[in-house]
Amino acid sequence: MTYEQAFRALADPTRRQVLEALQKGPKSVGAIAAGLPVSRPAVSQHLKVLKEAGMVDDKAEGTRRVYYVDPRGLAALRTWLDQFWDQALAEFQRQIEEENQKQKRSDP
């Protein structure tokens, strides 16, 4: 939901692998774990973190739980990043202007 949780969620390499696995389509917990070098409970714990970050959601399907990517968490990240990016560029521009001013004063 918040970008804080999103950053924390994506900081772990295994968690990114889980997300990338789900990106190719919905998968059960066991199916995800089968493609990763960690145990199934580990995947379960990662999915919990990802879900709290709003990056995945799940639906029950018999005794299995099918997880899929939820764009909401990604959207939060994009918002934060875009804002920060714009401000960074603006500040960058301002610094250049400042340099030019100094140059003018010390020039002729």
Partner DNA sequence: GCTTACGGTAAGCAATGACTTACGAACAAG
Partner DNA sequence: CTTGTTCGTAAGTCATTGCTTACCGTAAGC
Q: Which of 30, 35, 41, 71 binds a copy of itself (CB under 8 A)?
A: 71
Our CB check for a copy of itself shows the closer of 94 and 102 to be: 94
Which two structure tokens, joined as six digits, stand for 35?
Answer: 């493609």
Our CB check for DNA shows the closer of 29 and 69 to be: 29
**28 touches, from DNA, a copy of itself, none (C-beta below 5 to 8 Å by class):** DNA
**Beta-strand (E) ranges in the chain?**
27-28, 56-61, 64-69
Burial of residue 4 (number of CB atoms within 10 Å: 0-12, 13-18, 19+): exposed
User: Interface with DNA by CB under 7 A: which residues?
Assistant: 8, 11-12, 14, 28-31, 37-42, 44-49, 58, 60, 62-65
Instruction: Decide: is 85 part of the binding site for a copy of itself (CB under 8 A).
Output: yes
Which two structure tokens, joined as six digits, stand for 65?
Answer: 């739980």
Which two structure tokens, joined as six digits, stand for 25?
Answer: 């389509």
